Amino acid sequence: MKQIVTNIGLLAGVGHEGKRCLKGKEMAQLNTIANAYLAMEGGRIADYGAMAACPGLAGVEVIDAKGGAVLPSWCDSHTHIVYAGSREQEFVDKIRGLSYAEIAQRGGGILNSADRLHEMSEEELYRQAMRRVDEVIRKGTGCVEIKSGYGLNTEGELKMLRVIRRIKETTRLKVVSTFLGAHAVSRAYKGRQGDYVDLVVNEMIPAVGAEKLADFIDVFCDTGFFTPEETARILEAGAAYGMRPKIHADELASSGGVEVGVRHDALSVDHLESMTEEEIELLLDSQTIPTALPGTSFFLNMPFALGRKMIDRGLPLALASDYNPGSTPSGDMKFIVSLACIKMRLLPAEAINAATFNGACAMGLSDDYGSITRGKVANFFITDPLPSMEFIPYAYTTPLVRRVFLQGVEYK
């Protein structure tokens, strides 16, 4: 049945036909239509335009936006929302002055989450993850990447990826999955990092590939974690099973992660808190999209990625939440957009485009998601009436999302 959303105060993120992503100055163009309608059919966008040109409503399901804005759903291209329990004690440790690296060296951090995951059933892991999925959908997220990486052995990684597959199968949320066995070296391999890399390459990757559980492969390529040489070996092994790289790079130091990512045609390089201007140059002639995670910088009191400089140099930029139990226990993409404006000096239009259209690009999904475009999947949300688009990042804690639609169906 055809559906029409009427009385839209401001329809935002329209157009972008034929584009893969937005780069440089393009990112400041948030195409909008005031007093608009949006038509859907079969779960996809059929048409849109000014309300004065709205077609007849006979025999059509009418959804009244009541003057609210309509935006494409947030596309969150970097999350870890499948995890066991929480890590608030580490939050207290950070307040007392310990760094993220120091907590990891003491056996906390990722290893702490791995211990808990090994003890938890797959059913309970799914139940906990679905609470977070419900949370982010209600905040406007319609596409999400979810990583493994808290298993750190073959059984645990497969458990996580099976939960991610189940989320794909049981929700209207668009989900892509990433294998992150090289998130850290497990306790069982302490002092034997080379042997752990062998395990990832020779056992984990073939097992993941055999079940076709991952769309992408990731490595934490950074100081104290995995070297560029180890990263390259893991990415090459993943490529044999059709897993394209999306890698952690330059969070704790300028680690060579951007260079290895570009060399191996990574879809994205993510974090970039310690990125240098030289690494910006490496990305200019690549198809790799830089992805900033300002929530991590906020929560860990770290530098923010050079988002302003990347855009000014003509690069695309995506924004993602990094939702995880240790360094960013939040999947609120509206807050991520606000942080990008406040701390990275992005214009509101740039930040919204980075969290929608370019976020979709960083998951390989921009043909179907991330903008209000004819033929794309009808994932969007309706807000309370807004004075302008700039109000979204300005009112950084005000809940604005009133109704959410995924594949043209209202989420309740």
The DSSP 8-state label assigned to residue 305 in this structure reads P
Q: How far is CA 220 from CA 22, 51, 114, 261, 373, in A?
A: 27, 49, 15, 11, 35
Does 46 share its domain with 181?
no
Parallel/antiparallel/unpaired status of strands 401-406 and 74-76: unpaired
Does 150 share its domain with 281?
yes
**Residue 324, marked binder:** yes
DSSP alpha helices (H): ranges in 145-289? Answer: 154-170, 193-199, 205-211, 228-239, 257-263, 277-283
Does 186 share its domain with 313?
yes
**Residue 358, marked binder:** no
Query: For the stretch 184-201, what's the b/e string if a residue is b when 16 or more beta carbons lie within 10 angstroms of its beta carbon?
Result: bbbeebeeebeebbebbb
Beta bridge partner(s), residue 291: 270, 318
pLDDT of residue 107: 67
Does 223 share its domain with 339?
yes
Does 67 share its domain with 134?
no
**Residue 271, marked binder:** no
Q: How far is CA 20 from CA 33, 277, 284, 349, in A?
A: 22, 24, 15, 18
CATH code of 227's domain:
3.20.20.140
- Give the Cα separation of 369 and 232 in Å (integer): 30
CB neighbours (10 Å) of residue 89? 11
Does 64 share its domain with 146?
no
Give, for all 412 residues of the chain, the pLDDT tens digit.
799 999 999 999 999 999 999 999 999 999 999 999 999 999 999 999 999 999 999 999 999 999 999 999 999 999 999 999 998 988 888 888 888 778 877 767 898 899 999 999 999 999 999 999 999 999 999 999 999 999 999 999 999 999 999 999 999 999 999 999 999 999 999 999 999 999 999 999 999 999 999 999 999 999 989 999 999 999 999 999 999 999 999 999 998 999 999 999 999 999 999 999 999 999 999 999 999 999 999 999 999 999 999 999 999 999 999 999 999 999 999 999 999 999 999 999 999 999 999 999 999 999 999 999 999 999 999 999 999 999 999 999 999 999 999 999 999 9
**Residue 16, marked binder:** no
Residue range of the domain that includes 44: 2-72+368-411
**Residue 87, marked binder:** yes
Give the model confidence (pLDDT) of 103-128 as tens digits.
877 767 898 899 999 999 999 999 99
- Give the Cα separation of 351 and 358 in Å (integer): 10
CATH code of 392's domain:
2.30.40.10
Q: Of 378, 375, 383, which is closest to residue 407 (Cα–Cα)?
A: 378
Q: Report the chain's C-alpha Rg in angstroms.
A: 21
- Give the Cα separation of 288 and 268 in Å (integer): 5
**Residue 183, marked binder:** yes
Does 253 share its domain with 338?
yes
**Residue 78, marked binder:** yes
- Residue by residue, DSSP assigns 327-348 as TB----HHHHHHHHHHHH---H
Does 139 share its domain with 211?
yes
**Residue 326, marked binder:** yes
Give the model confidence (pLDDT) of 143-186 as tens digits.
999 999 999 999 999 999 999 999 999 999 999 999 999 999 99
Does 236 share its domain with 327?
yes
Does 357 share its domain with 373?
no
**Residue 150, marked binder:** yes
Measured between its terminal Cα atoms, the distance across the chain in Å is 19
Q: Of 276, 338, 280, which is closest to residue 314 (Cα–Cα)?
A: 280
- Give the Cα separation of 331 and 217 in Å (integer): 21
How many domains would you assign to the chain?
Answer: 2
- Residue by residue, DSSP assigns 142-166 as EEEEEE--S--SHHHHHHHHHHHHH
pTM as predicted: 0.96
